[in-house]
Amino acid sequence: MATTTLTETRVPLTPPLQFKIALVTGASRGIGRAIARELADRGATVVINFRNSVGPAEELRQEIEHNGGEAHLLRGDVSNRLEARRLVRDLLDIYGRLDILVNNAGITRDRSIRRMSDEEWAEVIETNLNSIFYCCSAAIPAMVDQMYGRIINIASFSGQAGNFGQANYAASKGGIIAFTKVLALELAKYNITANVVAPGFTATDMLSAIPGDILDQIRSRIPLRRFAQPEEIARAAAFLICDGDYITGQQININGGLYM
Ligand SMILES: NC(=O)c1ccc[n+]([C@@H]2O[C@H](COP(=O)([O-])OP(=O)(O)OC[C@H]3O[C@@H](n4cnc5c(N)ncnc54)[C@H](OP(=O)(O)O)[C@@H]3O)[C@@H](O)[C@H]2O)c1
């Protein structure tokens, strides 16, 4: 009897984010960089925003293109309302649409409330929280026209649990969580979802501002006994974007069990 050989014809999978345009703020370093890379790997055209670090941003653009992806650099200080809105306008001029907005840019200026200056308070609120309002308000009209949008706002466990010396930072991150719920409510009818990714301590330049002995103390308080890698945060953001069509107004905590 003749035997038939079963030959599988493998149809190449279409990358889930093919033809999608993504803006990641603060993508030159750390978590934003990992998110930009992850979205590019999944087929999105990624706009890498940064404020100062043109070298690392350009290096990331080249890496993405080397791997067959598409990326574009747009410098802009998102804490400045004119620059933030110009950033989104420039992106729309280039691509004509914006599908994915990841509001990631953030800073710390840690000090106890008794010693914190008005400038340290304001700089953190402007960079971490006001920037998100500026970028969202500029992006939403295009997303509404498209009847599609995925917004990810990067908060922190500090905005959920509080953290000593971080009144400005915790207030900005708690504000992001509340703002995201309103975004989700107001935009759901346009098929736009908005969610928060809330990292715990993550191995980036942001942690390098903390002295080594304090880092050891922090690590010992984390149930999983280690800091997150930026790629672990990026995969959660990508999950919400690629597979989260029915998820909106939620927070995904990636903190090794630090806050439950
Ligand atoms: N690392 C952590 O432990 C941790 C924990 C919880 C939440 N987060 C949050 O995760 C996000 C990323 O943090 P990270 O640890 O990756 O920080 P990072 O390594 O210090 O990188 C910060 C990024 O934000 C950009 N940035 C800062 N201010 C900006 C502005 N005004 N306009 C545009 N870009 C700006 C920086 O650009 P330049 O390179 O040009 O300065 C850089 O690309 C932040 O929102 C942070 O609050 C971090």
Asked, for residue 162, whether it belongs to a domain, the answer is yes
Binned at pLDDT 50, 70 and 90, residue 13 comes out as: confident
Q: Tokens 């200056």 map to which residue? A: 117
Burial class of 7 by CB neighbour count within 10 A (0 to 12, 13 to 18, 19+): exposed
169: annotated active-site residue: yes
* Candidate from 24, 25, 28, 31 with most ligand 1 atoms within 8 A of CB, to mutate: 31
Residue 205, pLDDT score: 96
Would you say residue 15 lies in a domain? no
Residue 222 structural domain: 21-254
Which residue's CA is the nearest one to ligand 1's atom 47?
A: 106
Ligand 1 centroid from CA 3, angstroms: 61
Distance 189 CA to ligand 1 centre (A): 31
Task: Tell me what pLDDT residue 196 has.
Answer: 99
Give the per-residue pLDDT at 209: 83
Q: How far is the CA of 154 from the centre of ligand 1 (A)?
A: 10
pTM score? 0.96
Each residue of 205-216: pLDDT tens digit?
A: 999 888 999 999
What distance in Å separates the CA atoms of residue 219 and residue 111, rounded to the nearest whole number? 20
For residue 43, is it within any domain? yes
* pLDDT tens, position by position, 197-246: 999 999 999 998 889 999 999 999 999 999 999 999 999 999 999 999 99
118 located within any domain: yes
Task: Give 3-state DSSP helix, strand, coil % of the chain, rounded to 5.
Answer: 50, 15, 35
Active-site hit among 95, 169, 190, 246: 169
Instruction: Look up residue 7 and give its two tokens.
Output: 């030959």
> Is the per-residue pLDDT at 7 higher than 70?
no
In this structure, are residues 139 and 148 in contact, taking their beta carbons and an 8 Å threshold?
no
* Residue 8 in domain: no
Per DSSP (E only), the strands in 44-133 are: 45-50, 70-75, 100-103
CATH number at residue 216: 3.40.50.720
Domains in the chain, number = 1
> Mean pLDDT across the chain, nearest whole number?
96
24-47 pLDDT per residue, tens: 999 999 999 999 999 999 999 999
Residue 9 forms part of a structural domain: no
Q: Is the confidence at residue 162, as pLDDT, over 90?
A: yes
